[in-house]
Chain A
Amino acid sequence: MIFVPLAIGWIASLVLLALDGRRRWVGWLALAAVLGMLAASVALLWEVAAGREPAVIAGGWPGGVGIRLRADWLGIGYAVPVLGIIAALLLIENLRGGFLTRIGPALVVLVSLGLTGVFFTADAFNFYVFFELSMGSAFAITALGTEGRHVRVSATFMVTNILGSVLFLISVGGLYHATGTLDMPVAAARLGVDPFGPPVLVGTLFLAAFLLKLGIFPFHFWVPPVYGETRVPAAALLSGALANIGSYGLLRFGGEVMPDALQAGRGLLLAIGAATILIGSMLAISRQPVAEILAYSSIAQNGYILLALGIGGRAGFAAAYIYAMVNSIGKALLFTTAGSRGPMIGGAFLIGAMSTAGLPPALGFVGKFALFRAAWEGTDRWLVGWIIGGALLAFLYMFQAFQQRFWLREDETHSAPSVRVAIACFAVVALVFGVWPEPLLGAGSQIASLLAGGPR
């Protein structure tokens, strides 16, 4: 059962690689494949919601030897929204006229396959393999641009993220060295009885690797040129889907495998998160082009995820998950909208901007509120003021972006009506989940009890 989404992605990407992606129907085939993966993941969600944990050990090996794939609340809670975002982006790209390159559709399916694998694997090294599958495809996607500056930024993106992958690989080696296993729950159990205290060194390496992927403050330098210069659909895919590896990895390795190390690094996480929010917001205010404002804004927004992890506990983990999902949907919407013109686009951008600033009834309010409550119930009340300050700054730069984008230029050719309707529907979905956030909150609370234990 758990093989189904991966098998669909695997077969579809092999087929798509052989086809010419510039033909319209090949782009639609890629969309069908991603929708198939989404449907299979929703079926798995059903199983998980019924209290089962679908799992399989690859190759028929006995438990503890082979690579284990399993769907738990954390994995499925990421897989379903992320596949949904990719499907929405693919739909809009197809309506816009399809792909301009031969391997474009295959690469998008490969990114989805890699992400799904990352979310379902219970093996630390297998995590690395799937992770590199999606990263490698994303490198190629950014390099597909028609202009020299696109390939230039893809080299930056590739070199910095290879460094992140190397840090991750070293920490997987360290985890294996310390525990003698690669299975995450088994490693967590062995680390739990470690007489030498929390595995701070390995934990720090994991942290550095995922912070680099997320583009958090000391490692944020690569994000603005890459998100700002690459083509808009690619930027939407990177910030809406791929960046989730960072927050997922922090929750999985920090929350599940090394909770003691996460607890030991609380102060560091809070300090880095707070600094990231301040620096990202300040730089976003000082920028003019919309793509650059959005790039700096995604740096700032990821800082909140770090704050939530630093707060920790049930409320903190739930807030980290909810915030990550809200932010992905908002960023995917904003980047797609920034690449379109005409009526309804302004309204969609406004919903995305309200979501980033955390204003009700947009989706972002749910994330901000979860974080706010976690901070209020926790020991560090100063965070509450920081979160409100960050939201005010976000309001300021998003309003500037809106002005820049929709008040200054009205003479451009409009996007096709079908594209505009699709984007408007995307924005309405973001609004609906803002008004009716129960699915998101429910998944967040399930993930929190998975990671932090205790009753629901």
Chain B
Amino acid sequence: MNLALALCVAVVFGAGIRLMLDPDLVRIAAGTILVSNAANLFIMSAGTGAQAAGQAQATTSDPLVQALVLTSLVITFGFTALLFSILHAIYRAWGTLDSHEIDRPE
């Protein structure tokens, strides 16, 4: 279970970073969404160890990490909306979302 979660976090985080290295701003935004959600997955998996300290065989899940993830999901959602509205403003100002195109010296 732990290995599966760790691999899952690694793949999502890696895919997010790969997208953030792209010149296309929409892909960068998609990358930030993936990276943020990798962090949420990580916190979910962090809840398993804190329990193991208290009891040998965990039968209930840790409610605190779920509250934390719920909060950070809301924050991620708000930021995503803000980021896309900024991208919209960029598109209106420059007519493109390719950062190479935008940053080309005139």
Interface positions of A (Cβ within 8 A of B): 125, 128-129, 132, 136, 139-140, 143, 147-148, 151-152, 154-155, 158-159, 162-163, 166, 169-170, 172-174, 176-180, 182
Contacts and interface: CB of A to CB of B under 8 A. Distances in A.
15 contacts: A129-B75, A136-B82, A140-B82, A143-B89, A148-B93, A155-B86, A155-B87, A162-B35, A162-B36, A163-B20, A163-B35, A166-B35, A169-B39, A173-B39, A178-B49
Main secondary structure of the interface of A (DSSP, over half): helix
Given A140-B82, A148-B94, A166-B39, A176 B87 contact: no
A136 B43 contact: no
Nearest to A168: B39
A450 to B, nearest CB: 27
A125 B35 contact: no
Contacts of A172: 43
Contacts of B75: 129, 132, 136
A152 B39 CA distance: 26
A219 to B, nearest CB: 14
B50 A177 contact: yes
B58 interface: no
Interface residues of B, number: 36
B46 interface: yes
A177 B36 contact: no
B28 interface: yes
Interface string B40-64: 1011001101100110000000001
A362 B11 CA distance: 52
Contacts of B103: 152
Nearest to A155: B86
B20 A159 contact: yes
B17 to A, nearest CB: 9
Contact of A151 (B49, B79, B89): B89
Contacts of B6: none
Given A155-B83, A169-B39, A169-B40, 7 more contacts: A136-B79, A151-B93, A152-B90, A159-B32, A173-B42, A177-B49, A182-B64
A148 B32 CA distance: 22
Contact of A177 (B39, B46, B86): B46
A154 B83 CA distance: 9
A177 B68 CA distance: 13
B32 A162 contact: yes
A182 B79 CA distance: 24
A151 B43 contact: no
B65 interface: yes
B105 interface: no
Contacts of B53: 180
A169 B35 contact: no
Given A125-B71, A163-B32, A166-B39, A180 B50 contact: yes
Contact of A139 (B49, B82, B90, B94): B82
Which of B40, B42, B94 has the largest number of chain A CB atoms within 10 A?
B42
B36 A151 contact: no
Given A148-B94, A151-B93, A159-B28, A166 B87 contact: no
Contacts of A176: 43, 46-47, 50, 64-65, 68
B20 A158 contact: no
A170 B39 contact: yes
Contacts of B38: 166
A159 B80 CA distance: 10
